[in-house]
Amino acid sequence: MLKLGVNIDHVATLRQARYRGQPGGEPDPVTAALLCEAAGAHGITAHLREDRRHIIDNDVHRLRRAIRTRLNLEMANVPEMVEIALDVHPEIVCLVPERRDEISTEGGLDAAGAILALTETCLRLNNAGIEVSLFIGPEPRQVEAAAQIGAQFIELHTGNFAEHFEQTAERNREIERLVAAATLANQFGLRVNAGHGLNVRNVPLLHVVPHMVELNIGHTLVSRAIQTGLAAAVREMLDVMKGYIG
């Protein structure tokens, strides 16, 4: 069964628009996470950025205490975040690229260009019992680097696929790249997640990508929740994921 990890960052984005710098506020990302779990989500994803633009430290600690599924902490490979991860102890850490001027994470991590640094972080987290995923583009050299680094997962960046969804030829090329990357990852013993720009229209086309374990999806669920409610948005996404064989 293909699992759904719900990224709650943009619940915090909405809160921070009004309550940045204050100890509380609404909507509460932890409450949202619990609603997602109750609706059937298999895990919760939160990205603690260096600039704390949405998720903040207190959110991560509260999530760790509150949720009953699996916490996936997205973060940059910097010493501050590694220490926070070791303290919070999520089930999995997903290492992502991070730029201050981006709206959301754009593009995949250059794992092939940072093998030594990523290997050190991966080893520290693994020794603490935390699995590691690398958020990478569907490129063979990046998949090979992830295996060399010792990661347990890769998360394939689906942004180009989502961006070219309306252009059939370009979309199909991106699907082919995702299929090839997932196949190669499986050969290396890596487990495969995917995410970025996914919604109920484009997810069914990803059913051809083999070996996927989980989709991490956030923005569309928060957007749909404005119209349908969060629980309904999660159930709607789970419905379109049914039938994945892998």
- Contact yes or no for 154/184 (Cβ under 8 A): no
Active site (catalytic) residues: 47, 74, 196
Sequence-distant (6+) residues with CB within 8 A of 195 are 5, 7, 135, 155, 156, 157, 158, 215, 216, 217
